[in-house]
C-alpha cells in the first residue's frame, strides 16, 4: 500500500473489520442520522474527507444500515456542494434539510427537522471533531442513547477538560483562560515560564505556541487571538456547541521524560470503550516537533516504551474518559509522560484519530477504528477482534526548512532509494511556493514510511531519524527579495493561498492524490 493510502486508506485497499454475527444482525435495518460536513468544507469535501465518508458509508450499506443525511437548507439559488457530492455517489437513502444550520440552536434545529419526518433514528454519526458537541446535543433532543452532551462539551473545551481532571484528582497542568492581552500580567503571577498558548477548542496542533519570556508570550497571544478570531483555519474558527468564556488559554509547559535518547515527546492512546470498560487500546509514540512550532512530524507503532509505561498511559486515559462523563465510544487521547507526574493529558477527543492512526490500527492490529466508532454510535456493543501482524511501522512527515520557491521536486529521491524504506513521496513539484520554519508554521511537503519486525522498532525509529535528516538536506529552496511570501495552508480546501504584503496574489492547486488533507489530529 502506498502511503497516500495510509492517511486516506481506500475502500478497496483496507481490510474489512471482523465483526461478529451478532453485531451484523443488530446493525441490519438501523437508522443512522449522518451530520453533513457542509459548514466545515463549504467548497466541497477534499480527497481525505471523501475517503472517510465513503468508507463508513460503504460499511453501513454492507450491513443494511439506513443512512439519513442531515444537511442545511440552502437559500434559493444556492447549493450545498457537500450534499451534491454525496448525492451523486448515492451515499444516503434519505435527505433531511435543516433551517438554521449554523444558528446557536443548530442541534435543536436538526432534531426538530428529524422529528418532522416522523422517522425514529437509532443513532447519530459524524467523524469530524467540530461536530461532536452537536452530535451529543442532537441525541439528547431525540432521546437516543448516547454519552451526555456535557461530556462532549467538556472534551471539546480544553479548559473545561482540565477542570474536570483537577476535580477528579488526576494530573493536569496549571492553566488560565485568556480573552485579551491585558489579562496576561495577572495570569503570569500564577504560572511560571515557559508556557503554552493554545485555543480552547482546536485540533491538529493548530494555533499552539510556546513562550519562554514575556516578549514571546505577547507575540504568541496576539497571534493566537487573531487566528481564533477569524483569520485561522476552520478547525479553530468553527466550534459549534462550545460555550467557553475565553477563546484561548495559557498553561504551564510540560517536560517530557526521556526514553533512551529517542525522539519521543508525546503519546496517542487510542481506546475503544463500551459500557465503561476498555475493550481495546493501543499506544502510538509521537515524536518531538521541531521548535518553535508544534506541527507533528514523526510517529511510530507499537510504542518503544515498556509495557508498564503503556499500561500506565492507558489506565490514566480511561480515568480521564470517565471523569469527563463518557461511558462508550472511540477516543483519541493525547498525553505527555513526565518525570514528576507520569501521564498528563494534553487532550481527549471522542472520535477516531487522524494522520496514520487508522492505518496503524488496521494494518498492524487488524482493528478498523472507524467501524468501531460507528457501531458505538449506533449502540451496537463492541469488542474489537485483534489480529497482530507482527510488524511495526514508522512514519515521518517532512516539513519545509525555509520559505520560498522549490527548485525541484526530487527531494525524496535519495530516501526512496535507501534500504528499509517502504515509501518516500514528494507532495510538491519544482517551482511551487512553500512555507518553512524560518517564517511561521511550515507545511508538510512529503512523507516517509518504514516497516520492521516488532522487536526492531527502536532501530527503525533511529533509522527514520537518519532518513528525515537526509530528506531535509535534499530540499532546495530559492528565496529572492521579490519573492518574499507567506503561505497559508488551508484545512478545508485543496489549495494553498500565497500572499505578498498581506495581499493575496494567487492560489495554486495541489494534487489531492499526493497531498493529503490534514484530517483531525
Q: In which band, very low, low, confident or very high, does the pLDDT at 486 lie, cut at 50, 70 and 90?
A: very low
Cell of 295: 506541527
Please tell me what DSSP assigns to residue 256.
B
Q: Say what the pLDDT of residue 58 is.
A: 92
| Cβ pair 121, 30 in contact under 8 A | no
Cell of 52: 472517510
Q: In whole angstroms, what is the distance from residue 378 CA to residue 28 CA?
A: 11
Tell me whether the CATH fold assigned to 4-147 matches the one assigned to 174-253: no
Percent of the chain with pLDDT over 90: 58
Q: Say what the pLDDT of residue 437 is.
A: 84
Q: What's the number of CA atoms in the CB half-sphere (13 Å) around residue 300?
A: 29
Instruction: Work out the angle at residue 304's Cα, subtended by the Cα atoms of residues 204 and 158, and round it to the nearest 5 degrees.
Output: 30
Q: Which helix (H) or strand (E) is 324 found in, with range?
A: helix 307-324
Q: In which band, very low, low, confident or very high, does the pLDDT at 130 lie, cut at 50, 70 and 90?
A: confident
Bridge partner residues of 343 (DSSP): 337
DSSP assignment of 389-405, as one string?
A: -SEEEEEEEEEPSSSEE
Q: What's the number of CA atoms in the CB half-sphere (13 Å) around residue 209?
A: 21
Fold that domain 174-253 belongs to in CATH:
Dna Ligase; domain 1 (3.30.1490)
Task: Provide the 3-class DSSP secondary structure of residue 132.
Answer: helix
Residues 296-301, mean pLDDT to the nearest whole number: 93
How many whole angstroms from its chain centre is CA 204? 5
Residues 41-68, mean pLDDT to the nearest whole number: 88
Residue found by looking up cell 428529524 in the block: 114
pLDDT at 469 over 90: yes
Q: Say what the pLDDT of residue 175 is.
A: 85
Q: In which band, very low, low, confident or very high, does the pLDDT at 15 lie, cut at 50, 70 and 90?
A: low
What is the length of the chain? 521
pLDDT at 10 over 80: no
Q: What is the chain's alpha carbon radius of gyration, rounded to the nearest angstrom?
A: 22
Taking each helix axis from N to C end, the angle separating 158-167 and 307-324, rounded to the nearest 10 degrees, works out to 100
Please tell me what DSSP assigns to residue 179.
S
Strands 209-211 and 195-199: antiparallel
* Least confident residue range of 7-16, 175-184, 221-230, 360-369: 7-16
Q: Say what the pLDDT of residue 440 is.
A: 73
Please tell me what DSSP assigns to residue 516.
-
CA proximity to 339, closest of 253, 262, 254: 254
CA 366 to each of CA 6, 178, 475: distance values in angstroms, whole numbers, following the listed order? 14, 43, 36
pLDDT, tens digit, for every residue of 427-464? 999 999 888 888 777 889 999 999 999 999 999 999 99
Residue 375 CB contacts under 8 Å (≥ 6 apart), including other chains: 19, 23, 27, 381, 382
pLDDT, tens digit, for every residue of 346-394? 999 999 998 899 989 999 999 999 999 999 999 999 999 999 999 999 9
pLDDT, tens digit, for every residue of 301-347? 999 999 999 999 999 999 999 999 999 999 999 999 999 899 999 99
Instruction: Work out the angle at residue 469's Cα, subtended by the Cα atoms of residues 467 and 474, and round it to the nearest 5 degrees.
Output: 95
Cell of 132: 461532536
pLDDT at 230 over 50: yes
Q: Say what the pLDDT of residue 7 is.
A: 47
Residues 454-481, mean pLDDT to the nearest whole number: 92
Query: What's the chain's average pLDDT?
Result: 84
Q: Per-residue b/e over 418-433, b at no fewer than 16 CB within 10 Å? A: eeebbbbbbbbeeebb
Q: For the chain, which residues make up each domain, given as ranges?
A: 4-147, 174-253, 396-509
pLDDT at 204 over 80: no
Fold that domain 4-147 belongs to in CATH:
Rossmann fold (3.40.50)
| Cβ pair 195, 252 in contact under 8 A | yes
Q: Which helix (H) or strand (E) is 449 found in, with range?
A: strand 444-453
Q: In whole angstroms, what is the distance from residue 147 CA to residue 326 CA?
A: 5
- Between residues 494 and 473, which one has the greater pLDDT? 473
Q: How many CB atoms sit inside 10 A of residue 494's CB?
A: 19
Residues 164-192, mean pLDDT to the nearest whole number: 88
Amino acid at each position: 500500500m502506498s502511503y497516500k493510502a495510509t492517511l486516506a486508506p481506500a475502500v478497496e485497499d483496507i481490510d474489512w473489520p471482523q465483526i461478529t454475527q451478532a453485531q451484523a444482525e443488530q446493525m441490519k435495518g438501523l437508522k443512522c442520522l449522518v451530520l453533513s460536513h457542509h459548514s466545515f468544507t463549504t467548497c466541497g469535501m477534499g480527497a481525505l474527507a471523501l475517503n472517510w465518508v465513503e468508507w463508513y458509508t460503504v460499511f453501513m450499506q454492507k450491513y443494511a444500515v439506513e443512512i439519513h443525511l442531515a444537511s442545511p437548507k440552502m437559500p434559493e439559488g444556492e447549493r450545498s456542494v457537500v450534499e451534491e457530492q454525496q448525492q451523486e455517489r448515492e451515499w444516503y437513502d434519505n435527505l433531511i434539510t435543516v433551517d438554521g444550520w449554523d444558528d446557536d440552536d443548530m442541534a435543536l434545529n436538526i432534531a426538530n427537522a428529524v422529528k418532522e419526518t416522523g422517522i425514529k433514528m437509532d443513532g447519530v454519526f459524524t467523524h469530524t471533531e467540530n461536530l461532536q458537541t452537536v452530535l451529543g446535543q442532537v441525541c439528547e433532543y431525540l432521546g437516543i442513547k448516547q454519552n451526555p452532551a456535557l461530556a462532549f462539551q467538556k472534551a471539546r473545551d480544553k479548559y473545561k477538560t482540565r477542570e474536570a481532571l483537577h476535580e477528579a484528582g488526576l494530573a493536569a497542568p496549571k492553566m488560565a483562560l485568556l480573552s485579551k492581552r491585558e489579562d496576561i500580567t495577572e495570569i503570569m503571577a500564577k504560572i511560571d515560564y515557559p508556557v503554552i498558548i493554545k485555543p480552547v477548542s482546536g485540533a491538529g496542533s493548530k494555533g499552539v505556541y510556546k513562550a519562554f519570556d514575556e516578549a514571546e508570550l505577547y507575540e504568541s497571544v496576539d497571534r493566537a487571538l487573531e487566528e481564533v478570531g477569524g483569520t485561522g483555519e476552520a478547525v479553530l474558527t468553527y466550534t459549534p456547541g462550545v460555550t467557553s468564556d475565553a477563546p484561548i488559554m495559557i498553561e504551564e509547559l510540560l517536560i517530557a521524560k526521556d526514553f533512551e535518547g529517542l525522539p519521543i515527546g508525546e503519546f496517542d492512546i487510542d481506546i475503544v470503550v463500551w459500557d465503561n470498560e476498555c475493550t481495546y487500546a493501543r499506544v502510538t509514540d509521537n515524536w518531538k516537533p521541531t521548535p518553535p512550532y508544534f506541527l507533528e512530524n514523526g510517529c511510530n507503532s507499537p510504542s518503544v516504551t515498556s509495557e508498564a509505561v503503556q499500561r500506565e498511559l492507558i489506565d490514566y486515559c480511561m480515568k480521564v474518559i470517565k471523569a469527563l462523563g463518557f461511558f462508550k465510544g472511540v477516543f483519541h487521547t493525547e498525553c505527555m509522560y513526565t518525570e514528576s507526574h507520569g501521564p498528563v493529558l494534553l487532550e481527549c477527543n471522542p472520535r477516531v484519530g487522524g494522520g496514520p492512526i487508522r492505518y496503524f490500527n488496521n494494518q498492524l492490529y487488524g482493528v478498523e477504528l472507524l467501524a468501531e466508532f460507528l457501531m458505538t454510535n449506533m449502540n451496537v456493543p463492541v469488542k474489537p477482534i485483534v489480529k497482530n501482524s507482527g510488524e511495526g511501522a514508522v512514519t515521518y512527515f517532512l516539513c519545509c526548512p525555509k520559505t520560498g520557491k522549490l527548485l525541484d521536486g526530487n527531494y525524496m529521491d535519495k530516501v526512496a532509494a535507501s534500504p528499509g524504506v517502504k515509501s518516500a513521496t514528494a507532495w510538491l513539484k519544482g517551482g511551487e511556493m512553500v512555507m518553512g520554519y524560518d517564517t511561521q508554521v511550515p507545511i508538510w511537503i512529503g512523507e516517509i514510511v518504514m516497516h520492521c519486525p516488532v522487536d526492531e522498532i527502536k532501530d527503525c525509529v533511529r533509522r527514520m531519524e537518519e532518513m528525515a535528516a537526509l530528506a531535509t538536506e535534499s530540499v532546495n529552496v530559492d528565496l529572492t527579495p521579490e519573492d518574499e511570501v507567506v503561505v497559508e495552508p488551508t484545512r478545508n480546501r485543496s489549495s494553498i493561498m500565497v500572499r505578498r504584503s498581506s495581499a493575496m496574489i494567487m492560489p495554486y492547486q495541489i494534487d489531492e492524490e499526493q497531498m493529503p488533507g490534514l484530517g483531525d489530529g
